Amino acid sequence: MNIYAIGAIYKFEIARTARTLLQSIASPVLSTSLYFIVFGSAIGSRMGTIDSVEYAAFIIPGLIMLSLLSESISNAAFGIFFPKFSGTIYEILSAPVSAAEVVIGYVGAAATKSVLVGLLILFTARIFVDYQIQHPFWMVSFLVLTALTFSLFGFIIGIWADDFQKLQIVPLMVVTPLTFLGGAFYSIDMLPEFWQKVTLFNPVVYLISGFRWSFYGIADVSIGISLGMTALFLVICLGFVAWIFRTGYKLRK
């Protein structure tokens, strides 16, 4: 394992974030703060409690997951897309660096940035509402596992995309709607029975449910199923990445 190569890619991606702090860090934190103000304070004061948890506190895991998914995908997608766009990807591919080292460097940096954003949002939430974390270990585990999984997914999107427009299609038209419909702002138990069953086909439900359980000990689905579904998506993404480097899909003209 070439630690120096991994470190070089990782440091370059982290340095790129340092040059765009307003866009990479401040923007998602401020956007989520607006959600806390609107949904937590304005609407939450009229909602009462859900499963004995105040509504403003109930939505914290969903809001963190909303930002975590979008940031993980965009960070990793842009990270690998720019070398493709500029042509420097061929320098990486011709260097004595394995596919695994390239993926660890780019995905590791993207996941690190996403976890940082998630933690900043978590600390910012304390300004607006009081909350508790019953299972800190599992909270961090879900945070890191989700960031890694969706950074891998973003890496795949970055390789697949041919232009900047395609980079935004999946996050805006697929991931964000699935997050809003995945119980970020409500419990799926509040839905009619038919829609409860339909919602279970939404993979984001398992992420939000497991993450919320780590805070308050309540979940829409079993914690074991949540972990299993997240791990399954991680394995699927790893399989796609392995196939991309084995076949040279979108990497070689």
**What tens digit of pLDDT does each residue of 129-160 get?**
888 899 999 999 999 999 999 999 999 999 99
- Considering the domain boundaries, does residue 149 fall inside one? yes
Kindly tell me if the per-residue pLDDT of 253 is higher than 60: no
Closest by CA to 250, choosing from 69, 77, 128, is 77
Round to whole Å and give the CA distance between 64 and 127: 15
pLDDT at 34 over 60: yes
Q: Is 224 a domain residue?
A: yes
Answer positive or negative: Cα dihedral of 91, 115, 211, 228.
positive
Report how many domains make up the chain: 1
Domain of 140, in residue numbers: 3-247
Distance from C-alpha of 188 to C-alpha of 182, rounded to nearest angstrom: 8
Return the beta strands (E) in the chain as ranges.
Answer: 49-50, 53-54
Q: Predicted confidence band at 45 (pLDDT cuts at 50, 70, 90)?
A: low
Task: Give the pLDDT confidence score for residue 44 in this predicted structure.
Answer: 66
- Is residue 252, in this structure, part of any structural domain at all? no
pLDDT of residue 115: 94
In a domain, 148, yes or no: yes
- Any domain includes 221: yes
**Span 167-171, mean pLDDT?**
83
More confident residue, 25 or 211: 211
Q: Please, are residues 117 and 71 in contact by the beta-carbon 8 Å criterion?
A: yes
How far is 177 from 98, CA to CA, in rounded Å? 36
Q: Which residues of 98-116 are buried (b: 16+ CB within 10 A; e: fewer)?
A: eeebbbbbbbbbbbbbbbb
Mutual orientation of helices 136-160 and 60-86 as an angle, nearest 10°? Answer: 30
> Is there a domain that residue 253 lies in?
no
Is 96's pLDDT higher than 70? Answer: yes
Q: Lowest-confidence range among 73-77, 120-124, 167-171, 179-183?
A: 167-171
- Domain membership flag for residue 73: yes
Residue 164 is predicted with a pLDDT of 81
**103/168: higher pLDDT:** 103
Distance (Å, rounded) from C-alpha 230 to C-alpha 1? 27
233 and 152 Cβ atoms separated by less than 8 Å: no
Determine, yes or no, domain membership for 35: yes
Higher pLDDT, 26 or 192: 192
Query: What would you report as the CA-atom Rg of the chain, rounded to the nearest whole angstrom?
Result: 19
Q: pTM of the full predicted structure?
A: 0.91
